[in-house]
Amino acid sequence: MDYSKPSRPEPRYVSDAVTVAAKILVVGHFAVGKTTFIGSLSEIAPLRTEERMTQAAAHVDDLRGAPDKVTTTVALDFGRLTLSDDVVLYLFGTPGQQRFIQLWEDMARGALGALILVDPVRLAESFPVIELVEKYGLEYSIAVNSFTPDERYDEAEIREALDLLPDTPVSYCDARSRESSGQALITLVRHLLTRTA
């Protein structure tokens, strides 16, 4: 999937001025766009652990919502985003399939919060993800990732369908767009700041 690349040169190392580093999880069900989201935001070449999908997983991975998908994350995605001279975010993307759930506990350790990507036409697949994030006690926000940005799903309907608390932020994004993904991440960071203030 094509996505916008950062326009500035890729810094290889974190600046010595950085004094605050925060770990953010980017989670969601299978084929919701986590790898694409991290790739669109990361200022470094993102680490991806994607492998080609095989016939062995055909009975396990439901491709109805993503018939053109040929690879899947098997461990994690990783990216980095410097917010200011002294603050950097580390983005960790989790695999979406249930068979990789054992990885979640380790990845959730030390995370400041989670951005949960949801596909508006497959909302039911988001319930196990939300339950896991809540199980690990992480603050979170929802980002509705639409691959058809001109279609806007009503926020009240999304909230009702996902049974969200009134103070859970909901944003909309196209994971292929750096600007759009950035706005979704800003929504989460603002929410986390209100929780830690």
Q: Answer whether 139's CB lies under 8 Å from 27's CB.
A: no
Question: C-alpha distances in angstroms, 99 versus 24, 35, 61?
Answer: 22, 18, 10
Most confident of 17-26, 40-49, 63-72, 102-111: 17-26
Q: Which of 6-10, 170-174, 175-179 has the lowest mean pLDDT?
A: 6-10
**pLDDT value of position 30:** 86
Domains by residue range for the chain, with CATH:
20-196 (3.40.50.300)
**pLDDT value of position 84:** 86
| Distinct helix (H) and strand (E) counts, the chain | 5, 7
**pLDDT value of position 139:** 96
Residue-averaged pLDDT of the chain: 82
Mean pLDDT of 75-92: 89
Give residue-wise pLDDT tens across range 108-162: 899 999 999 999 988 999 999 999 999 999 999 999 998 776 677 899 999 999 9
- pLDDT band of 17, cuts 50, 70, 90: confident
**pLDDT value of position 197:** 61
**pLDDT value of position 9:** 46
Q: Answer whether 60's CB lies under 8 Å from 81's CB.
A: no
**pLDDT value of position 1:** 46
**pLDDT value of position 166:** 95
Cα–Cα dist 27/53, whole Å: 20
Q: Which of 113, 111, 93 is nearest to 32 (CA)?
A: 93
Does residue 14 carry a pLDDT above 60?
Answer: yes
Six-digit token string for 176: 């292929």
